Structure 1
Amino acid sequence: MSFIENTLEDWEKLVKKQLKTENIYEILSKDNLENITVKPYYQNNSETKILPKFEESTHLVAEYQDGLEEQAFAFLLNENVENLEEKAIFINNQDLAEHILTVDSNRYFSLIDIFSDDKAAEIDEHLAGELLSKTFERQIGVDVSLHQNAGASIIQQLAFALAKSKELTEKFGSEILEKLVFRFAIGSNYFFEIAKIRAFKYLFNQLSKEFEKDLIPYIFTETSFRNKAKNDADNNLIRSTLELASAMIAGADAVFSNDYKFDDSSELSKEISFKQQIVLAYESIINVFEDASSGSYFVEDITRQFAERSWKLFLEIEEKGGYLESLKSGEIQKMIFQQAVKEQSWVEEGKIKLIGANLYPKLEAKKTANELYNVDEIKKVRLAEMFE
C-alpha cells in the first residue's frame, strides 16, 4: 500500500477551496502579544532534537506543612524544618539559606536571587559569598518570575535570564553557570509557555558554549499570579492546572503551584494546590518525559522563533552594557512597562478573557492602567486588579 505525499501547496489549495477565499492566512491568523508568527497549519521542515532536563523526573514541590511528608518528595522552605530526610529542598528565604541545618540524605537548591531589580542595580556580593560557601547542589537563583508577574513578554523574560547569567559569569567566572537555578513563572498561553521553557534550554546551552561548556539549565517553575483573580478563586485552579501541565510537558526540573486562593490562603487551599501536581503526574505521567512536545511542528517552530528573538534582545542588552546597566538607565523597566500596559489594554478590550473579571464579571468598579503600573518600577501586577 502506498500513500500520496501532499505538499504544503496542496493543503493551501484545499483550504482555499473550503473557505472560498484566497486570503486564507488573513482569516486564519491571530494576533499575539509576542508578535510571533503562528501559522494555521504546519509541514515538517526541521530536524527534531530532544531537549533534556537535569532531573530524571520533574520534582513536584510543595510548600511545607504538617502531614505532607509522606506525600511530597520536594519542599519549598521559607523557614527551617527539622527531621526531613531524602527530600529535595528548595530554599526560598535568605535568612534560612544562611542558617539552615542540612542533612546528608537531602538535596538542597537555593532560589535566592542576588540581584537588586531596581535602579540601585547591583549584585549582593556578600550574600553571593554566603550562598556559594554552602554545600548545596545549586547555590544561586536567577529569578525571572518577577518579570513575568510584572508583565514582561516571553522574549523579554528569556533575554533577561540570559543577561543575568552573563553578569554572573563576569563577576564570578564561568563556573557559576553550573550553580544556577532558573526560576520562571508560567502564564496562561499554553503552547507559548511550553515553547518558552524549551527555548531557554537552547539559549542557555548556547550561552554555556560561549564559555567552552555544554550545559543543561536547572529550571524551577511556578504558577503565575499575573492571570489570577480574587473573585471566583476556583477559576484559578483551572488556570494553574494548565500552567503546571505546560511546565511538565516542556521538561521543567521542578514545578510548584502557588496557592490558588492567594488572597484567602489556608492549609486546605495550599494542599489542594499541591495535589493538582499529583493528579497531573500520577494520572497522565507527563512529569517523567524529557521533552514530550518534541516533534510537534507548531511547538518546534515557535520554540525556534522565541530562541532567535530572545538571543537578539540579549545581544542588544549586552551592547548597552548588560543587565545591570540597563536597569540603572531604566531601560529594563521601560521595556516591561510598555509590554505590561499593552497586555492590560488587551484585557480591557476583551482580547484576553478572564472569567469573572472582564468576562461575566460580578463587579463593575475598576482601576486604570496608570494606577496599576509605574514606568520606573518592576512590580507584580495581576491583570484582574483592574476589575477588583
Structure 2
Amino acid sequence: MAIDSMKKTKFSERTYEEWQKGAEAALKGKSLDSLKTQTIEGITLEPLYTKDMLQKWGNSIQLQTAAVQAGKQHAQWLAAQEVNAESAEEFLAAVENELSKGSDVIVFTGSKKYDWTEAQFRRLAELIIKHPIYFKLTRQDQDILRVFDYIDENDKESVRGVIQSEEEVSAPGYVRTQLIDTIPVHHAGGTAIHELGVALSMLAEKMDAGSFADTADNLWVRFAVDTKFFQEIAKLRAFRVLWKAFCSAYGEDSRFIPIYTETSVRSYSKLDPYVNLLRAGNATFSAVLGATDVHTVHPHDFLTTPTAISRRIARNVQLVIKEEAHVSHVLDPSAGSYFIETLTKQYVDAAWNYFLEIEKIGGYSQAMKSGWLTDDIQAKWVERERDVATRKASLIGTNIYANPQEAVADSELDDGHLEYITAKRLALPFEKLRAQSRERILKTAIIHVGPLKEVKAKSDFVNGFLAVGGIEPLISPEMTDAEKVNRYLSDEQIDYAVLCGSESALAQVIPGLETSAAIDVAGKFTAQQLADWEKSGVQDHLYSGKHLVEKLEQILSLGKEAL
C-alpha cells in the first residue's frame, strides 16, 4: 500500500457492545468475565478500557494527570548505577568510568570502609560539584561526608542529590536527607497499596515533627519497581497524585519530592539469572513511564557476584530506553491511556483509604509496633508464594521452563547490601530445592503408558514439573502392561516414577504394579480413583495447579544423601 493511500485510510468506528459480541464469539461459550484479572490488591483489570469508562470519574482524571506532570517537572530522568570497589582509589576510578559511560549520579553504597586521603577527597569534591550524589550510609562508614569540607563555600550551592542514612546527617546545597522509604515494605511482600499507604503515613509523621515547607524540601521517596508492568506505572503516578492531595489536606501548596526507583529483587532468581535481565528491562521501562526521577538497575547476577559485564549491561538498559524509546522527551508518557489512568485512579483511592486506616490505629509507628501492619503485609506475601508455587504466577527459568543442568552460583551478596539479603524473594524456595537436588541421589522415570502422541502432553508437563526441582527423569518407551512397567522400574533401579497415559490405559496397568518405587500418575483424578489405585502403590497425582514446592520436597526426600 502506497504511503499516500495509507494516510487516507480510516478505521471504522466500533462500539464496546460490538467488541463484546466479537469477544464472546471468540471465547466459544466462556463468559466475558473470564478475561478479567484480579490483582493482588483486589483490583479487577478489565479486558478492554474505553474513553467512556473514564467519564464516571468526572474531571478527576484531568486533575490526576495535571498532578503527575506538575510533580515530575522534567521529562528526563537520571541513571544511578552502583559501582564495585575495594578502595577509595578504585571507587573514584569506577565512578569516573560510570559517569563517562552514561550514568548521571555518583552512587556510594557504603558496602566497604575506605581510607580516604586529602587528594582523593578533593578529587571526589570536584565530581560532586558537577554531578548529583546518592549516598547510602551505614553507622560504620560515614567518613565520605568529610568530602563536603573540601568543597568551596561558593560551590556548595551547586551540590545536589540525596543521602540515605540511619542517623541524622547534614549536607550542603540541595542535598535531601529525609527519606520516605517504601522498599522495606516491598521487600516484606507488600502490595502497591501497602507501599503508597505507608508512604503517606510516614509523611504524616515527618510533617507533624516540624515545618511543612522545610520538611518537604528535604524529603525524597524510594520505591522498588517489580515486573507487574502496568501496575508499577500506576503506582508511581499514584504517588504524585497522593502527594498533591496530602499537601492539600495540610492546607499547603504541593512541593516537589524526587522519586528514586530501583529494580525489585523480589522476582530476581539465581536460577537462569539471565532472565533477571528481562525482568530488569521490564521494571525499568515501568519506572520510566511512571515518571521516576532517578533509577537504578540491579545487574542480572546481583544476587551472587556482579561482574564488569553485568554492570555494563545494567547501565545500558537505561541508556537503550533513553536513546531508542525517546520517552525522555515526554513529561508523562502514559498520560491519557484509558487503562493506566483508570488504574492510577483506583490505586489513589485504595491507597488513601489504607492511609486513613493506618492513621486510625495511631500512625505508621504504632501500626508497626502493634504488629498489625506486619501481619497485613505477611498475608499478601503468603498469597504471592502460593501463586508462584502453584504456577498461577510464573517465574521463567525458576518455576517454569527450568533447566536442571544449569549450574547455580553459591556466592551471596556482601554485608553492605543487607536490605537485599533479608528481602523476601519468590525464587528462594526453588533455589533451596535445586540445592537439595545436588545433595541427593535419586533415580526417577516418566513411564509412557500408551503411544507417544497420546501421552506427550502429560509427559512434557511432568518433565517440566520435575525440572523445577533439578530432577532429570529417564523417559521410558511405550509400555502397555504392568509386567513391562515392573521390569523397567526394577532394571533401571527407579526410586520414583510418574505414569503418563489415558484414564483407561492407567486403569489397565495400575492393578498389576509390583514395585518398591514410589509411583504417581500424571493428571487430575478424583479422590475415589486415587483411593482405589493406592492399593497398587499409587501415592499421588501431578496436575496443573499442584503445589510445586511441597510436592518436589516430598520427591527429593526419597533420594539417598550424596557423599
* Superposed pair shares fold, TM > 0.5: yes
* CA displacement, residues 319-365 of structure 1 (integer Å, 9 cap, x when unaligned): 1100000111011211111111110111101011112211122459x
Q: After superposition, where does 1:1-388 map in structure 2 within 5 Å?
A: 6-21=14-29, 23-25=31-33, 27-45=34-52, 46=54, 47-48=61-62, 49-50=65-66, 51-52=68-69, 53-64=72-83, 65-66=94-95, 67-71=97-101, 72-78=103-109, 81-84=124-127, 85-94=129-138, 95=142, 98-101=145-148, 103=151, 104=155, 106-112=158-164, 127-128=167-168, 130-131=169-170, 134-175=172-213, 176-211=215-250, 212-262=252-302, 263-362=304-403, 379-388=422-431
Q: What one-letter code is carried by the residue in structure 2 that aligns with 1:60?
A: A
Deviation at 1:149, TM superposition (A): 2.0
State the percentage of identical aligned residues: 27
Aligned-partner SS, 2:295: strand
* RMSD, aligned CA: 2.5
Q: Structure 2 CA distance, aligned partners of 1:77 and 1:97?
A: 9
**Cα distance change, pair 69–20 in 1 and its aligned pair in 2 (3 A):** closer
The equivalent residue for 1:124 is none
* CA displacement, residues 210-253 of structure 1 (integer Å, 9 cap, x when unaligned): 22222343100000110001122111111101111000111111
Query: Which has the higher mean CA deviation after the structures are superposed, 203-212 or 74-83?
Result: 74-83
**Cα distance change, pair 221–302 in 1 and its aligned pair in 2 (3 A):** same
Aligned-partner SS, 2:51: coil
* CA displacement, residues 174-203 of structure 1 (integer Å, 9 cap, x when unaligned): 121222111000001001100100111110
Q: Structure 2 CA distance, aligned partners of 1:161 and 1:214?
A: 16
Q: Structure 1 CA distance, aligned partners of 2:109 and 2:165?
A: 14
Q: What one-letter code is carried by the residue in structure 2 that aligns with 1:312?
A: N
Q: Which runs of 5+ in 2 are unaligned?
A: 1-7, 55-60, 84-93, 111-120, 406-420, 432-563
Q: Structure 1 CA distance, aligned partners of 2:137 and 2:237?
A: 28
Deviation at 1:97, TM superposition (A): 6.9
Q: What one-letter code is carried by the residue in structure 1 that aligns with 2:137?
A: N
Deviation at 1:8, TM superposition (A): 3.0
Aligned-partner SS, 1:185: strand
* Contact 1:60 1:256 survives alignment (8 Å): yes
Q: Which has the higher contact order (CA 8 A, sep 6+)?
A: 1
Query: Which has the higher mean CA deviation after the structures are superposed, 57-66 or 182-191?
Result: 57-66
**Cα distance change, pair 290–235 in 1 and its aligned pair in 2 (3 A):** same
Q: Structure 2 CA distance, aligned partners of 1:269 and 1:200?
A: 31
Q: Structure 1 CA distance, aligned partners of 2:299 and 2:125?
A: 24
Query: Which has the higher mean CA deviation after the structures are superposed, 156-165 or 67-76?
Result: 67-76
Q: Structure 1 CA distance, aligned partners of 2:375 and 2:144?
A: 32
Query: Which has the higher mean CA deviation after the structures are superposed, 51-60 or 313-322?
Result: 51-60
Q: Structure 1 CA distance, aligned partners of 2:29 and 2:22?
A: 11
* CA displacement, residues 52-110 of structure 1 (integer Å, 9 cap, x when unaligned): 20444111112242522322222222357453141121121152574342753754322
Q: What one-letter code is carried by the residue in structure 2 that aligns with 1:167?
A: E
* CA displacement, residues 147-187 of structure 1 (integer Å, 9 cap, x when unaligned): 21221011101101111111100112312122211100000
* CA displacement, residues 259-300 of structure 1 (integer Å, 9 cap, x when unaligned): 221111223322221121111111112233211011110111
Q: Structure 2 CA distance, aligned partners of 1:363 and 1:142?
A: 41
> Quick check: which has more Rg, 1 or 2?
2
* Contact 2:125 2:147 survives alignment (8 Å): no
Deviation at 1:204, TM superposition (A): 0.8
* Contact 2:40 2:191 survives alignment (8 Å): yes
Q: Structure 1 CA distance, aligned partners of 2:172 and 2:371?
A: 34
Q: Structure 1 CA distance, aligned partners of 2:237 and 2:227?
A: 16
* Contact 1:222 1:258 survives alignment (8 Å): yes
Which aligned runs of 4 or more in structure 1 are off by greater than 6 angstroms? 1-4
**Cα distance change, pair 187–113 in 1 and its aligned pair in 2 (3 A):** farther
Q: Structure 2 CA distance, aligned partners of 1:68 and 1:58?
A: 16
* Contact 1:77 1:92 survives alignment (8 Å): yes
**Cα distance change, pair 181–73 in 1 and its aligned pair in 2 (3 A):** same
Structure with the bigger percentage of helix: 2
